[in-house]
Amino acid sequence: MNKRKTPWLIAMAVLLVVAGVCGGWLIKDYRDRQQAEALYESLLAQQTSAEESAEESASTESTEESVEVPDVLEQLGITVPDKAIDFAALQAETNADIYAWIHIPDTKVDYPVLQHPTDDSYYLDYNLDGSKGYPGCIYTELCNSKDFTDPHTVLYGHNMKNGTMFAGLHDYRDADFLAEHPYIYIYTPDKTYVYQIFGAYEFSAVHLVRNFDLSNPDIFQMYLEGVFEIRDMKANILTDMEVTAQDRIITLSTCVKNKPNLRYLVQGVLLNP
């Protein structure tokens, strides 16, 4: 064998091995992602089936009590979308860390909400079934209680290229979209919380809860004033809405493409505390 060819052949062999390993990893990553997304689709399908069954049962059993809408929502003319969510079954059969469900009608934001008991970043990298990788989960951190009584609750989700998870939050860059999709619904075993969106904008990737102590009313008020004073042309801030330090707010946070130091935030105020 020509000695000059030997290093070249070795290099080619190494490249082929590396390519094979990388290709295998990419295939596994793709399959894991497909499996994780299929699980979300399965949960939605089960939920839809349960909702249809509940509607049929309600229409045939006139003695069954109807769901009561809180007075404040009724006065505002807000109808809460029916969601047949069996939290006990979700926790037992899917993931014990599921404690709520987020829904924005007519969007892909329709997911369980999780909180890991020890690791704040766990669901950034892990899926419902425990597999590692994208799309991850919609989650909150331990600094937030799971009963949505904190002044400020932050939910995190990936900005997926296929439009799933929190990628759809970027649609709120369009003022018309905001006007047509003004509410965020959070379902828990005990109550459904309704938030009206008052802001959608890019912001620093700082930790919102730890950097802004909104348990202090003065800081809370200053924080809100800062939001309503944003003058970025790409931001949608409803300056005619009144949000004060006596309110409770929610923030949905996701990444901004090619801007690792920024996050896209969609914020709402709780209407039915």
- pLDDT given for residue 172 in this prediction: 98
- pLDDT given for residue 30 in this prediction: 54
- pLDDT given for residue 18 in this prediction: 54
Architecture of domain 70-270: Beta Barrel (2.40)
Backbone φ and ψ of 102, nearest 5°: -110, 140
**pLDDT averaged over consecutive 10-residue blocks of the chain (273 residues)?**
60 59 53 75 72 49 48 92 95 98 97 98 96 96 98 98 97 98 98 98 97 96 97 94 97 97 98 96
Bridge partner residues of 194 (DSSP): 185
- pLDDT given for residue 69 in this prediction: 64
Cα–Cα dist 189/82, whole Å: 13
- pLDDT given for residue 52 in this prediction: 54
- pLDDT given for residue 43 in this prediction: 83
DSSP secondary structure of the chain? --TTHHHHHHHHHHHHHHHHHHHHHHHHHHHHHHHHHHHHHHHHHHHHHHHHHHHHHHHH-TTSPPPPPPHHHHHHTPPPPP----HHHHHHHT-TTEEEEEE-TTSS-EEEEE--SS-TTHHHHB-TTS-BSTT--EE--TTS-TTS-SSEEEEE--B-TTS-BTGGGGGGGSHHHHHH--EEEEE-SS-EEEEEEEEEEEEE-S-HHHHS-TTSHHHHHHHHHHHHT---TT-EE-TTS---TTS-EEEEEEE-TT-TTEEEEEEEEES--
Please answer whether residues 197 and 182 qualify as being in contact, where contact means their C-beta atoms are separated by less than 8 angstroms.
yes
